[in-house]
Structure 1
């Protein structure tokens, strides 16, 4: 528990930094873009320029449309505070009765702090070393947040931690983070959306922010030819989809990627979201007009958001069967991302990708009423594999047996069996959403480009959850060794830099993982050969049952 307490302290300290008032200085940094002057703040050795708009506000008739770039900046801009977060879907982590207090504390912390949201939210933030001038050509890391494509905000992450650490390592980088539309506002899906060619708006927001970086980051001292995109969870999945867009042509928008807990998933046509589109139409009174999409654009914000909040979230019973998520629209995503991966239509850039050991435990707190194999079979058939035959389900449940010693949290024996099926469900969900897609992504890419992979087994002693999803965020935004690896990678296109164990590249013939551990030995090199047959079968079922 000492390690857990230390990590909780780091999180609380980071939140305190984010919420603390900015230190006042008589001289504040100014950056000129076009004919506009942006006033930022200086604190702790870094300059921060916050809340910079990178697109026209997606309000009114621009709601549910592709983001539109702004015209040239003119005049003075106060870039001293974060902009609004994009509309957040109301959801809370499932906290069933009987959880140990350490686990409840962890859930309360990672659920984040209340944030102000609204539709006029397409802004980004730049953090740079205070001594850096225009034209310094520093490497750039661009953070894309997670949140199940339903919530999340750039305001929750302090880029100053990354930049200050890069200064200490004498490998200074510039940090950029952006907001993108989430939930129904960013991932509306239906035949109507497909016909109007306005699917995957959140991904288009990210793409436009990356174009902004190419155009303007030099003004902050950054090098547009040295951009590493970096994200976690839905942010990491987003990065993999950016790598698959345009048949793998990244348009020069980024030259490397660092991904935490997220890879190309098996997702279906955008019409798969029709029932939820129809639900919004009904709840907002848009059933009568023939053009329901135009009606939704004009619907009162409060009514539309209330309807969105009434749909299931990633923390609901159906969990990984996301209501709002990227889907195949024939434009941004030409095909199922897993198929595109298998076809090799991936941007040929070096990348790092990793997972936490117990990715599924956090999402399995929503199914604690599933306590028998029959109930588990029904759940999987209803939400994840509706096309699976009885024989296929038999095979899946054989590969993921009821034996709690083989479930997740892994390597914890009979401990953490919160319900008779909890560790089994956690193992299936963790592999289905995270581990199996990561392995497929690497197996289809590692012979064509430089790749590295990691597995975080830290925080294993956290009751019920173990090395849970998002636990590696504590490592990187807490200034841990992942922070150093990120900075080295952004600077050198290689995460190694003389300290710590050598992190070998991942290849199909030698699938080596940097494995992060608790205790006196912080890391080791292991092989990515666990649950091979089970994950191959999960991938087969995923391709046959795109979400």
Structure 2
């Protein structure tokens, strides 16, 4: 059963008008014929979209907390793929109130949510065999939907890159988040039903392999990409079954996300939270019968279980319930701690990768009230509770207070920036360099984004101190800075960045190299492969261009990343 949402407020309402417009749907819907099944889509802004294509069966009732089963349309079905499907269960309305306008409102949820979308240039033929870019959304394993066109509108990526001679097919896979996607318990282990949300993604990739050629894509030229925990999803798909998974994709782009090692997969957090929420829902067995507890949980109405899960998540993490539930290792899908899978080469090493972070990815994840060395130390100790005292001391020495500056115009102390840099390096920058260094030197491309379309908006709200913060990459990658509200604040530099970043992503998906189709209006230039982790490409800002780690780029990354890569630090923080 689907559940509808309440209305929510708008972002930047003082200065911006929020008026998303679409061209009228063509009188004749585009049609894709896939064997005996036909899909009717819509036309908008020069692209064709096919929405709410089911790939998995309903996950409600007795199927709750179970790994997904494939769905097949009956022979002769004509699928109306013109309207968005439901999001998987999560909070209704604005998922992150403090980020209103970044994400769209969630208006409908359902456990029958395993669907995907496909977008292509108007008039694409089935014989085109275009590269396919498959998006795995982020949202801290708390929220997200492929139908959120505020955050993930693919029309610019598809339309503008076709005009550059880099046509691609875009697809995106819905998957279960939170409690319903990542619950963990001994009973679920015995059922082999851990990490259902990751298996949803895997099943969606299997559907793409089997059906995307009907839409004009090539099953042999698939790139998966994701931002935030979409980064985590991509790396876990690389590590699936210890690197022995089916070759469902051929390239991978990992944007601005926490390493799966750093999300506490082996720490038992999802087990602990599953037990606590089971008690809140009055399903705890007095005899410890886990099977009986699952039977109770599967019998509850969605509205009851979702309300309790959302409230529980916000009590754990106040921004949006981020990371309350997360993938678990070991499991059949993730057979060991991700740090061990990486260090022992048990992941797909035949995949070319493009990987990177935003210059100030950490600023939204630490309190802006940090104003002293003691406060800094307390926050870092809380963020990394497993670190030994000697390693905490070393960490403080690697990020000395005098290496950072206050931001007096907005009342921000330098210790805030120390903490933010620790988070960025530990969870975003150093894991990116560590993964890149494990691949052949010519197979990985690393970047650091140093530009943001949010700059003027942050200035209006006296939040310039957050800098090039988390999610700054997405309006550029999907090339929607010309949409409201961004069009009201975007500079020419933002339009140029969108053209180049989107173009380089499409070039990488097409040729395995982000500058393969270079000219001044299509992609970036001067982007060497990482060379075992020695080089990266700074995108935008005063240092735009290729840079060696530790020299032009600075920031003491070699020493700091060496610390985060020590075996004892990995064991104490990442597992």
TM-score category of the 2 structures, normalised to the smaller one: 0.7 to 0.9
Corresponding position: 1:108 with 2:76:
no
State the Cα RMSD in Å: 2.9
Distance in 1, matches of 2:177 and 2:320, equals: 17
Of 546, 560, 568, which residue of structure 2 is paired with 1:525?
546
Corresponding position: 1:544 with 2:572:
yes
Q: Which residue of 2 aligns with 1:435?
A: 429
Deviations along 1:78-116, one digit per CA (max 9) or x if unpaired, are: 100110111124786585xxxxxxxxxxx3332443442
- TM-score by length of structure 2 reads 0.83
- Would you say the 8 A contact 2:407–2:414 is kept in 1? no
Distance in 2, matches of 1:273 and 1:78, equals: 38
Instruction: Return the offset for 1:65.
Output: 0.5
Q: Which residue of 1 aligns with 2:488?
A: none
Paired residues for 1:180-191 under 5 Å? 180-191=175-186
Corresponding position: 1:505 with 2:501:
no
Q: Which residue of 2 aligns with 1:80?
A: 82
Q: Which residue of 2 aligns with 1:489?
A: 508
Instruction: Return the offset for 1:389.
Output: 2.6
Instruction: Return the offset for 1:174.
Output: 0.7
Instruction: Return the offset for 1:282.
Output: 1.1
Distance in 1, matches of 2:74 and 2:537, equals: 45
Deviations along 1:219-274, one digit per CA (max 9) or x if unpaired, are: 11111000011111111111011001122234120011112113442434373322
- Would you say the 8 A contact 1:140–1:226 is kept in 2? yes
Distance in 1, matches of 2:296 and 2:254, equals: 38
Q: Which residue of 2 aligns with 1:117?
A: 109
Q: Given the superposition, is the C-alpha separation of residues 93 and 171 from structure 1 closer, same or farther in structure 2, using an over 3 Å criterion?
A: closer
Q: Given the superposition, is the C-alpha separation of residues 534 and 171 from structure 1 closer, same or farther in structure 2, using an over 3 Å criterion?
A: closer
The gaps in structure 1 that reach 5 residues or longer are 1-7, 96-106
Distance in 1, matches of 2:376 and 2:317, equals: 16
Q: Which residue of 1 aligns with 2:282?
A: 285
| Mean CA deviation greater in 199-208 or 111-120 | 111-120
Instruction: Return the offset for 1:163.
Output: 1.1
Corresponding position: 1:401 with 2:400:
yes
Deviations along 1:307-333, one digit per CA (max 9) or x if unpaired, are: 211234599369998321112132111
Instruction: Return the offset for 1:180.
Output: 0.8
Q: Given the superposition, is the C-alpha separation of residues 436 and 94 from structure 1 closer, same or farther in structure 2, using an over 3 Å criterion?
A: farther
Q: Which residue of 2 aligns with 1:5?
A: none
Local SS of the residue matching 1:480: helix
Q: Given the superposition, is the C-alpha separation of residues 439 and 163 from structure 1 closer, same or farther in structure 2, using an over 3 Å criterion?
A: same
Deviations along 1:192-243, one digit per CA (max 9) or x if unpaired, are: 3222221111111110000000000011111100001111111111101100
Instruction: Return the offset for 1:135.
Output: 2.5
Aligned residues: 514
Q: Which residue of 2 aligns with 1:324?
A: 325
Q: Given the superposition, is the C-alpha separation of residues 258 and 108 from structure 1 closer, same or farther in structure 2, using an over 3 Å criterion?
A: same
| Mean CA deviation greater in 319-328 or 470-479 | 319-328
- Would you say the 8 A contact 1:85–1:117 is kept in 2? yes
Instruction: Return the offset for 1:406.
Output: 2.5
Local SS of the residue matching 1:425: helix
Distance in 2, matches of 1:476 and 1:27, equals: 30
The gaps in structure 2 that reach 5 residues or longer are 1-11, 459-463, 480-497, 551-555
Instruction: Return the offset for 1:425.
Output: 1.7
Q: Which residue of 1 aligns with 2:268?
A: 271
Q: Which residue of 2 aligns with 1:352?
A: 354
Deviations along 1:325-345, one digit per CA (max 9) or x if unpaired, are: 112132111111122111122
